[in-house]
Amino acid sequence: MKQMLNAFAALAIIAAPASATPVVGKPAPDFKLTDANGRIVTLSGFRGKTVVLEWTNPGCPFVRKHYGSGNMQRTQAAAAKDGVVWLTINSGAPGKQGYMSGPEAKAFVAQSGARPTAYLLDPRGNVGKSYDAKTTPHMFVVNKAGTLVYAGGIDDKPTANPADIKSARNHVLAALTELKAGKAVSVPTSRPYGCAVKYAES
């Protein structure tokens, strides 16, 4: 079973270029999405706060690596402790792996112990494509001024093996720590890894 999972993970992984759109160092594109509770959420509504964007697909083995181990929840909790806004975004299209309705997303958050500020639904994939989100997970950090300061993977261990988390550099936590200290983000981009975002067919 483990061999089958590893084989699937190897097929699911995609390596995206380190550079992505939007550009790190430039304003992060604003967006408006509905959250799992049916409320409208905008990125600009959080201006003045640091924001993390997390693209997700609960069916992806790479996402399960971080949620099943509790790593994503711990990262979310550490961010929340410092007043960081965490927006989890699901760009899975209806009928595709990982797609969730509002009630399904609420149930996932409750069951997993996740700690996002909001779980946002992007079934048409418009926001995901505007950020060139390629993988799940794919992470972005926006500073208080609305500038994108990090884009890439959650860490530097591009595998689906939870055992690798212990020795990984968590790029998101590192970026948040540096921002809190008033420093520039030392690793502003990295290669995202995971399953391809399951966008609707164009």
Q: Which residues pair with 155 in a beta bridge?
A: 170
Closest CA to 96 of 133, 54, 59, 53: 59
CA 126 to chain CA centroid, nearest Å: 16
Please report whether residue 201 resides in a domain. Answer: no
Distance CA 185, CA 188 (A): 6
CA angle 200, 89, 41 (to 5 degrees): 110
Please report whether residue 23 resides in a domain. Answer: yes
Q: Which residues pair with 118 in a beta bridge?
A: 87
Please report whether residue 81 resides in a domain. Answer: yes
Count the domains in the chain: 1
Q: What is the mean pLDDT of residues 12-19?
A: 38
Q: Contact at 8 Å (CB) between 53 and 145?
A: no
12 pLDDT above the threshold of 90:
no
Q: Name the token pair of 55.
A: 């693209």
Q: Which CATH number characterizes residue 156's domain?
A: 3.40.30.10
pLDDT for the residue 74: 97
Residue 121 contacts by C-beta under 8 Å, 6 or more apart in sequence?
33, 34, 35, 36, 90, 100, 101, 102, 105
Please tell me whether the overall predicted TM-score, pTM, comes out greater than 0.85 for this model: yes
Q: Which residues pair with 33 in a beta bridge?
A: 41
CB burial class (10 A; 0-12, 13-18, 19+) of residue 162? middle
Convert the pLDDT of each residue in 105-132 to its tens digit.
999 999 999 999 999 999 999 999 999 9
Confidence of residue 56 (pLDDT cuts 50, 70, 90): very high
Confidence of residue 201 (pLDDT cuts 50, 70, 90): confident
The domain in which residue 36 lies consists of 2-196
